[in-house]
Amino acid sequence: MQALTSNSFQFQGQTKVYNGKVRDVYTLDNGLLVMVASDRISAFDHILPKGIPYKGQVLNQVATMFLNATKDIVPNWLVATPDPAVAIGVACEPIRIEMVIRGYLAGHAAREYKAGKRTLCGVALPEGLIENDRLPAPIITPATKADEGHDEDISKEDILARGLVSPEIYAQMEQYTHALFKRGTEMAAERGLILVDTKYEFGLHNGVVTLIDEIHTPDSSRYFYAEGYEERQANGEAQKQLSKEFVRQWLIENGFQGLDGQAMPFMPEDFVAVISERYIELYERITGLTFEKSDTQNIVARIENNVNAYLQNN
């Protein structure tokens, strides 16, 4: 199994390339973007040393399903998926804010709460919560979007005070975030899952707030299994989850949280295989479909041929 970790594609009409932590975005001269979901995996804002086979395909296909299932809520950027690991859509002017929404005290929020903080991004949290408790109501805890390094928590008040977006645009993003999370929660429940937290990114297309990037994938979201949640919570046990959190926990156990002076631990092949299996498990659980592994013998040629064939015919 090959993993797609780096590439230098040449697509028809290509004008520039942006290499993100996980995705590579190619701008075309016709107002479209080609977004390639690589098999890279990141945690604590660092790219891990090995790629995860089929991870990009999982991310792209899960995101495609949810983008199609939510386009009645908010316009989104997606136009086509000519390859299992590729999405093509309209170019938008990105809004440099991640709209993080949390229904439960988990992950980063739980670590902050355990450290004694009772306000997160300007949102007050009640006393007496334990990790993975359901919050009284979903809360939005935005983050500034960094090209490199760490994204940083920020409050709604600071966003508006700094003029990062207008009050009108922020209000629209806020409304969309709650509506998308509600839809995602309902769809997860149908599959026996709990959507714990997630993030949405928006841009402007012809002045219209538009949903961009991925949604409800294991890279951008955390899922718990609904069955046994209450019992595990009552017993103070860890929740069974489908998300990238187990990768973060493995890194923490091996002395890495992305802090200065910490060395990235060696990733054994059996752990790489476990991560790949977890991603495929989430795909099948959240979609209800059997995952069909794409041909990985020559991923670069496959993607380039599929994308250019689409561009030539559309």
Q: For residue range 49-58, what is the model confidence (pLDDT) as tens digits?
A: 999 999 999 9
* Predicted pLDDT of residue 241: 85
Domain boundaries, the chain: 93-243
**Architecture of the 93-243 domain:** 2-Layer Sandwich (3.30)
Residue among 56, 22, 37, 73 nearest 187 (CA)? 73
User: 4 pLDDT exceeds 60?
Assistant: yes
User: What Rg value do the Cα atoms of the chain yield, rounded?
Assistant: 19
d(CA 138, CA 30): 39
Residue with tokens 């940083």: 152
3-state secondary structure 125-136: CCCCCCCCCEEE
Residues of the chain with pLDDT > 70: what percent?
Answer: 98
d(CA 215, CA 179): 13
Output the DSSP codes for the chain.
-----------TTEEEEEE-SSEEEEEETTSEEEEEE-S--EETTEE-SS--TTHHHHHHHHHHHHHHHSTTTS-BSEEEEEETTEEEEE--EEEEEEEEEEEES-HHHHHHHHTT--EETTEE--TT--TTPEEEEEEE--EE--SSS--EE--HHHHHHTTSS-HHHHHHHHHHHHHHHHHHHHHHHHTTEEEEEEEEEEEEETTEEEEES--SSTTTEEEEESTTHHHHHHTTPPPPEEESHHHHHHHHHTT-SS-TTPPPPP--HHHHHHHHHHHHHHHHHHH-S---PPP-TTHHHHHHHHHHHHHHH-
Q: Among 114-118, 243-247, 260-264, where is mean pLDDT lowest?
A: 243-247
d(CA 107, CA 249): 10
Please say whether the beta carbons of 205 and 92 come within 8 A: yes
- 218-238 pLDDT, tens per residue? 888 999 999 999 999 999 999
> Which residues on adjacent β-strands are paired with residue 222?
197, 243
Instruction: Give the model's confidence band at 149: pLDDT under 50 very low, under 70 low, under 90 confident, else very high.
Output: low
d(CA 136, CA 127): 12
Residue among 83, 198, 67 nearest 140 (CA)? 198
b/e map 95-109, b = 16+ CB within 10 Å: bebbbbbbbbbbbbb
Residue type, 170: Y
User: 148 pLDDT exceeds 60?
Assistant: no
Pairing status of strand 119-120 against strand 23-28: unpaired
Please say whether the beta carbons of 62 and 216 come within 8 A: yes
Please say whether the beta carbons of 164 and 202 come within 8 A: no
Instruction: Give the model's confidence band at 146: pLDDT under 50 very low, under 70 low, under 90 confident, else very high.
Output: low
The mean pLDDT of 113-142, rounded to a whole number, is 97
Q: How big is the CA angle at 286 (ends 282 and 288), to the nearest 5 degrees?
A: 110
Average per-residue pLDDT in the chain? 94
- 181-200 pLDDT, tens per residue? 999 999 999 999 999 999 99
C-alpha dihedral (232, 137, 201, 204), degrees to nearest 10: 160
Phi, psi at residue 66, to the nearest 5°?
-75, -35
